[in-house]
Structure 1
Amino acid sequence: MDQAVIPFDWARMLLGEEPPTFLLEILLRTIVIYIYTFGLIRWIGGRSISQLSMVEFLLVIALGSAVGDSLFYPDVPLLHAMLVITVIVLINKGLDYLILWSDKAQTAINGIPNWIVRSGRLNPDQTSDRGIGKAEVLALLRIEGISNLGEVEHAFLEANGDLSVFRAREPIAGMPIVPPHEICPLPHVEPSLREGEPSPKLCCFDCGMLQSRAETACLHCKGEVWTEAKMPDSRLA
């Protein structure tokens, strides 16, 4: 039978039953878990932690666990929890200084933006690097008030998951994204391949690249599905 907990037992509250050298083990445990968890979050990517940097996100998780355990579990000594909290804050402060003074450290810790839209077309390679699909990119663009890819000159998925959109001064014909394709699918169009017959202005359904001549596969992403390109004001191009 477990021994009854004695309230306000200061020896248990501060040190527990472990020897004082156990504090050094806690120091090592905290550093190892912090680095391991940071690596996992870095791998997950910024879109999962929008509005917070990866360091800030990890700080919230680590402090929440350290503080919570010391509040609810009588077998967690306060000094152990305080050491964990102190080490976490010191590590976080050290990373802040690295980010401040070293561009290489900032890139390694926070990552770099991804160029996901350029001149009205999606960049599948950049979106796949961040684990984000076409539908999610189009949803983020609609949140920014974009109704057609032809309106976008550049769009970047920042390291923290935010989307930076730069509108084109002169919109071009592009793929409509309003209403969402899940609600109102775009009709697929076959490119004209007969000699002497003008090709309609089409865009690749996978990346939005405009077709300048009759092709069976997109020159940018190798997609083979085409839809009619339209001007942002919904007029036919």
Structure 2
Amino acid sequence: MKAFDLHRMAFDKVPPDFLWEVALRSLYTFILVFLFLKITGRRGVRQMSLFEVLIILTLGSAAGDVAFYDDVPMVPVFVVFVSLALLYRLVMWLMSKSEKLEDLLEGKPVVIVEEGQLAWEKVRGANMTEFEFFMELRLNSVEQLGQVRLAIMETNGQISIYYYHDDDVKPGLCILPESFVARFKTIPETGEYACIRCSHVEAMQAGEHQLCPRCANPEWSKVSRAKRIT
């Protein structure tokens, strides 16, 4: 075998005419995936649960094989799509009858902020870091956690946020990127500080250096009292 053989790299053993068949196969699989998404009533990945994403990945594997390989027949792939569509309908019906099955396949909403502080114990069990949650909150124009009465990570990955009224906003952890927030292990002046990891707020004296009583993190930042701009 010759290295860097451009014809082999481009076509391998298939004739150039097969490219027209690839285009037809791609159109075929595109239509099948489109019809499946119409059947499930979904508009985008952000609206999909873990189970639905799994179904789409399985469909993608079948669609990719039939589009690329000349020895993969098209009818069996159609059967795969029909079988998965029926499986999807069956599982949706079973989940409507069984809350335990729904929790197993779809997961449960996770509370990530309660009364202006990160729900630390619940966040740790959600297989995401606090910084990932902070990014999601920033995308919803949250500057500091004291603005948020309740934030819930839904099963489809979206976050539902319930804000405090401006008059009720609490001092909290500023969740802007690190370059915007000074961090301290030794407290520079007396005041309220928030743990940069779990958002626990503590009144501290100048010169103190202590671990957070909630998560044992040594770094703190001054609390933010910023209100929401609406």
TM-score, normalization: structure 2?
0.68
**Counterpart for residue 232 of structure 1:** 226
**Counterpart for residue 11 of structure 1:** none
More deviation, 88-97/129-138: 129-138
SS of the aligned residue for 1:201 comes to strand
**Counterpart for residue 193 of structure 2:** 202
Aligned residue type for 2:76: H
Question: 1:85 aligned to 2:76?
Answer: no
Q: Is the 8 A contact 1:51 1:160 kept in 2?
A: yes
2:193, 2:122 → 1: CA distance?
Answer: 23
The C-alpha deviation readout for 1:158-181, integer Å capped at 9, x for no partner, is 111111111123111112223x22
User: Structure 1: 5+ residue runs without aligned partners?
Assistant: 8-48, 193-197
Aligned residue type for 1:161: G
Aligned residue type for 1:154: L
User: How far apart are residue 109 of structure 1 and its match?
Assistant: 0.5
User: How far apart are residue 146 of structure 1 and its match?
Assistant: 0.7
In structure 2, relative to structure 1, the CA distance for the partners of 1:117 and 1:77 (3 Å cut) is same
User: How far apart are residue 148 of structure 1 and its match?
Assistant: 1.0
1:65, 1:128 → 2: CA distance?
Answer: 33
Alignment of 1:109-124 (within 5 A): 109-124=105-120
> Percent identity among equivalent residues?
25
2:69, 2:152 → 1: CA distance?
Answer: 45
User: How far apart are residue 82 of structure 1 and its match?
Assistant: 2.6
**Counterpart for residue 176 of structure 1:** 174
User: How far apart are residue 226 of structure 1 and its match?
Assistant: 2.0
Aligned residue type for 2:108: I
Number of aligned residues: 182
**Counterpart for residue 63 of structure 1:** 59
1:154 to 150, 154, 157: 150
**Counterpart for residue 190 of structure 1:** 186
Q: Is the 8 A contact 2:169 2:227 kept in 1?
A: no
1:61, 1:126 → 2: CA distance?
Answer: 29
User: How far apart are residue 71 of structure 1 and its match?
Assistant: 4.1
2:202 to 197, 211, 214: 211
**Counterpart for residue 95 of structure 1:** 91
1:73, 1:91 → 2: CA distance?
Answer: 26
Aligned residue type for 2:216: K
Aligned residue type for 2:221: T
The C-alpha deviation readout for 1:44-100, integer Å capped at 9, x for no partner, is xxxxx6332123222222223223433443322334223322221221111111222
Aligned residue type for 2:226: P
1:130 to 111, 126, 144: 126
Q: Is the 8 A contact 1:151 1:167 kept in 2?
A: yes
In structure 2, relative to structure 1, the CA distance for the partners of 1:228 and 1:71 (3 Å cut) is closer
What is the aligned-residue RMSD (CA, Å)?
A: 2.9
**Counterpart for residue 161 of structure 2:** 165
Aligned residue type for 1:208: S
Question: 1:143 aligned to 2:139?
Answer: yes
TM-score, normalization: structure 1?
0.66
**Counterpart for residue 216 of structure 2:** 222
1:233, 1:72 → 2: CA distance?
Answer: 55
In structure 2, relative to structure 1, the CA distance for the partners of 1:125 and 1:72 (3 Å cut) is same
